[in-house]
Structures are given as C-alpha cells and as structure tokens.
C-alpha cells in the first residue's frame, strides 16, 4: 500500500462505488501552478506590490474579482477592485507570453487516464480555467482521454462552489456519490465535497496540512495510480452508463 494518508475512507468498504474520476487541471493534470504563481508575482510587482507564494497556492482557482480585494488585503497586500482587474489582465498576458510554452502534463497523467479508459471508467476534467486557456495549454493527446470537460466559463459559479463538481457527474449520468475528484487545493476540495463527491488530494503544490478536507491525501501521481488501480481491481467492472451522452 502506498504511503497515502487515509481520512474518512473505509478503503475496502467504499471502493465498489467509484464509477467516474474527476480531475482538476492545474496541479493535477498539468505541472502549471508554479508558472501561474510566477506570473501573478510579476504582475503584482509591476504595481509595486508583493504577494506570498503560499497565498497564491492556497487560493488557486478561487481568486475572483468579487473576493480578491478582501483576500489580498487580509494578507498584507492592499488593492482596489480596479487595481485587481489591471493586475489580472497583466497576469494573463505574462503567463501567455513568458510561461505558457513551459507547461507540461505530469509524466504519469497519461498513463492514469489511459488506464481508466482501458477499464471503461469515465474521466472528466474539471477546471476553473476558461476554454480558451485550456485549449492553449492542454495537449490534444491528453484532452482526448477525457469523456467530459467542465470549464470555469461553463458554470454559473466556479470553485470553491459545488457547481463544477455537480455538473461533471451529471454530464456523465453518474450520481455524485459514485464519483471521486482529484484535487490539489482547498477550493477544489470544498467544491468536490460540496457537490457530494469523494476527494483524493495530491501534494503537488501544498502540504497535507492544507488538504485535510479530502478523504485521502497522496504524495505523488504514482501513489494516485496505485490508489485508483486498487479501487478498480477490487471491483468486477467499472461500467459506463449506456445511452448517456458525454461532452467536450
């Protein structure tokens, strides 16, 4: 058994129910968060401001115009909403021009997704990024391994609200309690749990002390594969739902 930290899972008691796997993108599928953080820091510096790396990692996927002013002000970086809009625009441009070409999938992720496909287990990508960003950084050979893609511009409320992880199982015609999300940040964990799915967290960007809301915390993608393989080999099948459309 890998050195996973088990939370509320009854490992042999619940593995039979997971019929779909829902993956966050940044920090789970793509090794991209360090580049997003670097772009944020450069953008803030252009306005004479400094922000700690940890804040950017902790609030990954949940830095919204409506909450950013309070979030950054509480952490020693006082800005106005107008300031944030300008910083956000710069962050996007900096990421596009300086870092986008350096983003790569984690080496093990294609193996994990192909394994799920071979086993007949649906996989969804659930990200706060908009489709135009996803299309620019996610390789097509990885994109095709997903049965469903949920982006931030396809839901009314992004993470940490449950909307993204409610929509993904629905698109796969699978009850949320029969799906498990894979996340690396608190906002994604809150979103998944709020939607009624289970959650595996991976420590690619934050330590386990920040991921306590997940059911299981794994240290790396090898452990993630071992956990998924353990679930599937303990079941007779991992069937798709016939007659249910999926979306990209």
Token output for 82: 């107008």
Per-residue pLDDT of the chain (248 residues; tens, 9 = 90+): 334 443 334 443 334 458 999 999 999 999 999 999 999 999 999 999 999 999 999 988 778 777 788 888 887 888 888 999 999 999 999 999 999 999 999 999 999 999 999 999 999 999 999 898 898 999 999 999 999 999 999 999 999 999 999 999 999 999 999 999 999 999 999 999 999 999 999 999 999 999 999 999 999 999 999 999 987 766 544 544 434 544 55
Virtual CA dihedral for 127, 131, 137, 143, nearest 10 degrees? 80
- What pLDDT score was predicted for residue 6? 35
- What pLDDT score was predicted for residue 232? 74
- What pLDDT score was predicted for residue 234? 61
- How much is the pTM? 0.88
Q: List, in sequence order, every residue forming a beta bridge with 23; answer none if it has no partner.
A: 125, 182
Q: What is the spatial distance between Cα 200 and Cα 8, in angstroms, rounded to a whole number?
A: 11
- What pLDDT score was predicted for residue 26? 97
Of 139, 147, 149, 150, the closest CA to residue 19 belongs to 147
């Amino acid at each position: 058994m890998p050195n996973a930290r088990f939370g509320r899972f009854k490992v042999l008691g619940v593995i039979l129910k997971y019929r779909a796997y829902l993956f966050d993108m940044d920090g789970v599928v793509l090794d991209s968060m360090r580049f997003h953080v670097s772009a944020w820091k450069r953008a803030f510096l252009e306005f004479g401001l400094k922000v700690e790396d940890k804040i950017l990692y902790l609030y990954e996927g949940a830095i919204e115009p409506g909450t950013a002013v309070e979030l950054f002000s509480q952490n020693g970086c006082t800005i106005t909403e107008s300031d944030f809009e300008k910083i956000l625009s710069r962050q996007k441009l900096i990421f596009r021009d300086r870092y986008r070409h350096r983003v790569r999938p984690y080496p093990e992720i294609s193996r994990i997704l192909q394994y799920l496909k071979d086993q007949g287990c649906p996989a969804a990508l659930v990200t706060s990024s908009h489709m135009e960003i996803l299309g620019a950084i996610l390789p097509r050979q990885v994109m095709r391994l997903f049965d469903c893609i949920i982006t931030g511009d396809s839901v009314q409320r992004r993470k940490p609200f449950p909307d993204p992880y409610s929509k993904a199982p629905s698109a796969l015609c699978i009850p949320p309690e029969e799906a498990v999300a894979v996340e690396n940040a608190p906002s994604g964990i809150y979103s998944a749990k709020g939607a009624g799915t289970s959650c595996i967290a991976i420590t690619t960007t934050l330590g386990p002390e920040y991921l306590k809301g997940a059911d299981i915390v794994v240290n790396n993608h090898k452990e993630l594969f071992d956990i998924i393989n353990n679930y599937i080999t303990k079941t007779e099948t991992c069937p798709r739902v016939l007659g249910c459309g999926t979306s990209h």
